[in-house]
Structure formats: C-alpha cells, structure tokens
Amino acid sequence: MNAQIKAIVIHAARDLRLEDRPGDIPGPGQVQVQLAAGGICGSDLHYFNHGGFGTVHLREPMILGHEVSGYITELGAGVSGLSVGQLVAVSPSRPCGNCRFCHAAQFNHCLDMRFYGSAMPFPHVQGAFRQMLIADAAQCIPADGLSPGVAAMAEPLAVALHAVTRAGPLLGRSVLVTGCGPIGVLCILAARRAGADRIVATDLSEFTLETARAAGADETLNMAANAEALAPFQAEKGVFDVLFECSGAAAALTAAVPAMRPGGTIVQLGLGGDMTLPIQAMTAKELSLKGSFRFHAEFATGVSLMQKGLIDPSALITHGFPLSRAHEAFETAGDRSRAMKVQIDFSAEPV
C-alpha cells in the first residue's frame, strides 16, 4: 500500500484543507519529486477567495498549486538526463502532443492540456501542492545552483517571458506596466533583459510599486493617490510603445490607452474576468491588442536565465510558510500591502 502524503485541497471559497492523499511511484518516463517549495499564484488566490474566476468555478475538491520545485527521489524506467537528489523546477504545462495546436507548436493552446491545479476541465486537473509529486521527466528542468524558492519562480517568470515574446522586439522601446504584482514585476525584469529603454509601472499599492522600483522600473505611479498620474504621458498622442496589462482591471487599461503612441502594442496578461475595452480610442490609434496566455518553451529559458544570473527574482519572495500553516500563507498572499510572492516550504515538515 502506498504511503499517505499531505496535500493542500480547496473545496469551495475559503474552504482550504490539508488532507491525506495516497502517494504513488513513477511509471515509465516519469520521476518522483519530493516538493521543496511552492509559490501561491493569483489563480490559486481566486480559487481560495472566490471558488474560481470568470467562467471557471470549482465543481469538485482540487489540489491547488503549479509553481513548484523539488528534489528527485526516484526515476521511472527509461528516464535519462536526470538523477536522484537533483533539484528540478517542475513545469505545470503538460500538453497532449497530439492535437492540431500541439502539431503547430502552439502547446499553450493544447486541446487536452493538463495544467496543474486547473478547474477549467472536469474532472479538474489536480495541482502540485503535495509533499510527493509524480511528474513526467520532460516537465523537470534541472535547477542546479538555484535555491528551491528561486527555482519555483520559473513558472511565473515563464509567463512574463511569453508576454515579452508576444510583444515583439523591445530594444530601445518605451514600456508601460499596469499592475505590479509578481507577474507585473517579472515583466519589468524580462522587458529590461529584452532591451526596453524606459519602463514606467502603475499600481494602487505603494508596497508593490516599491518592489517595481527595486526591480528596475524607471518611474512608478500610484494611481490610487493620483488617478491622473498618466496624464503627462498623453501629450502628442502618447509615448509608450508597449503596454503589459497585468492587473486584469478594465480601469487600468482604459487609463493606459491615452498614453500609448499610435501603432503601439497592448499585451493583456491579467485575468480578472471580462473587460470593457475603449475600442474607439484603440481603433483611432491603430493599437494592436495581443493576449498572452501561459507559456511552454519559455519555462526552460527562464530556469537558464536565472542560473546565469541574468534575471534574479529572489527579491519577490517575501514570505515562506510551512505546509501546516497553508491557510495563513494564503491569507498573507492576498494582502498586497505587505506580500509579493508567498511560498509554501514543503521541506519544513517531513513526508
């Protein structure tokens, strides 16, 4: 009989439980990973606070979590290139490889995607916040030289890198980032690495704006303190070449459009439900609107950039909690006045 492991399970809004689940052994092409660190994402918070987001709602209990790293404890048959004891960042993206989008290398749009901790399909795809995880070897990117906490940042960094790819060339460009949660700040880091010249960031929280400044934003604007803070950037039809909209709030996009230059590009990352867009203003300025959803190849790229020291997200990790304090961790993660990235330290308690 397989040993029992602890997992973080959401049953409904505000109903988060630490439950026993059966462990498992890796099959061919798989590895067993003892989790070390897991970051709480905005989507995890939507499930925790509201039971879902947009049209996606919990219909059964679901293990949360998809930003994880851990140490390999067992290799399945046929696995090569990985070793027991090795720290890996585990990609939550598991496309089927057989649908028309996979055949077109649009893996993030896979018709049968199995993305950890997602209530989009039913039955839901169970998440990775569990002490022991069975993962495909292809999901596991060696993270030698990184701490478990930094390795677990590979997933949100991949989201930002995919957005930068969607934006097109950024060398010498002027960039606006709206929403300075973890994804927004990672977009600042990724845009700068891609050659952006001027980066301005907006948010409603001084704490998050302080983090944005530390990450290299040239200017930060508190829209709660001054709703017209973007007005100086509207002169002569606007100055920004690219907008990374990371808040998911219609008000943020509406305020940003007048500051965009004609022909500029809006990359929408924030997922907060349907948004009403200023279509007429966007049309008159010939702005391009691009969605950015998840990632695929960028996950391994993110690990490599962190290993080389080219992107360092460590300052974003503001809190760590043991597994037994998961509920407190989620409560803290939702407090944007003091928390950026909150992680669960799975190594703090034995399996």
- Our CA dihedral for 224, 229, 230, 233, rounded to 10 degrees, sits at -170
pTM for the structure as a whole: 0.95
Measure Cα distances from 199 to 153, 164, 226, 239, 244 in Å.
Answer: 22, 13, 19, 11, 10
Stretch (H or E) spanning 164:
helix 154-167
pLDDT of residue 66: 97
Tens digit of pLDDT per residue, the chain (351 long)?
468 999 999 999 999 999 999 999 999 999 999 999 999 999 999 999 999 988 889 999 999 999 999 999 999 999 999 999 999 999 999 999 999 999 999 999 999 999 999 999 999 999 999 999 999 999 999 999 999 999 999 999 999 999 999 999 999 999 999 999 999 999 999 999 999 999 999 999 999 999 999 999 999 999 999 999 999 999 999 999 999 999 999 999 999 999 999 999 999 999 877 788 999 999 999 999 999 999 999 999 999 999 999 999 999 999 999 999 999 999 999 998 999 999 999 987 766
The answer to whether 341 touches 347, Cβ cutoff 8 Å, is no
CB neighbours of residue 76 within 10 Å: 17
Cis omega (within 30 of 0) on the bond before 123?
Answer: yes
Q: Is 101 exposed, middle or buried (0-12, 13-18, 19+ CB in 10 A)?
A: middle
Distance of CA 39 to the CA centre of its chain: 9
Q: Which domains does the chain have, with CATH numbers?
A: 4-153+313-348 (3.90.180.10), 159-291 (3.40.50.720)
